[in-house]
Amino acid sequence: MSHLILVRHGQSEWNLEKRFTGWVDVDLTAKGKLEACKAGELLKEKNLRFDYFFTSYQIRAINTLKLILNTMRIKNNFTKAWQLNERHYGSLTGLNKDEMKKKLGEKKIQEFRRSWSIKPNPLSKNNPYHPINIKVYKDVPKDLVPDTESLEDTFNRVIPYFKKNIKDKLINDKNILITAHGNSIRSLCKYLFKLNEKKITSLEIPTGNPLLIKFSINNKITECKYLDQARANDLIAF
């Protein structure tokens, strides 16, 4: 039996400001840090032994993991993977969501945020928010750095990484914790729960709330629940 815990990072500075963040590297708010510590407390109560830890290249996910580990009194190395990054929002990056709803209409913004294959216009490589201009991504091959992404694009980088680096560990009865982002976790949920393209548009991922997924010895999902039931979104997957 193995466990996979998925945690969306705690509230970020741009979550608070309602800005499209994507690959921009912004940190947690005070509330986000508290959410991460709360996640650590909830996981500590489960008394699980974790074997591997994964996170993205982005500081909000990295610091969420660090706070969880600190709360659990765990000193362990973790793996950072850019493939687990948030979806790139292209030309919307840095813009306020409410203002863009007024400008483009709520339906269009909802399409950009939740549709499977629609993506915003590319972000100019001259823009300081473009990943090639952000130091943390200097080791990512430039031909793999996106200018914009749909959820489908995000899925197509998250899932191959998951299959290559994480799936076999679950099959071998290892417990794994991943801190990532709304859309990279939605991609994982689509794959794990075999959601179609319509259902995935309805899946919301709350910040800082551990999603526990339990697998049987034949790698079938037997349980799925948010540990903080007071902030649990409805799971359409299980």
Predicted local confidence at residue 236, as pLDDT: 59
- Geometric angle at alpha carbon 12, from 135 and 229, rounded to 5°: 135
CA distance 3 to 224: 10
Bridge partner list, 179 = 7, 55
Enumerate the active-site residues: 9, 86
Residue with the bigger pLDDT between 137 and 234: it is 137
Placement of tokens 């259902």 in the chain: 199
pTM: 0.95
Taking only the tens place, the pLDDT of each residue in 167-225 is 999 988 999 999 999 999 999 999 999 999 888 888 889 999 999 999 988 888 999 99
Residue-level pLDDT at 237: 53
Which CATH architecture group holds 2-29+56-149+170-214?
3-Layer(aba) Sandwich (3.40)
pLDDT in tens, 12-22: 999 999 999 99
| Closest to 214 in 3D by CA, of 223, 206, 203 | 223
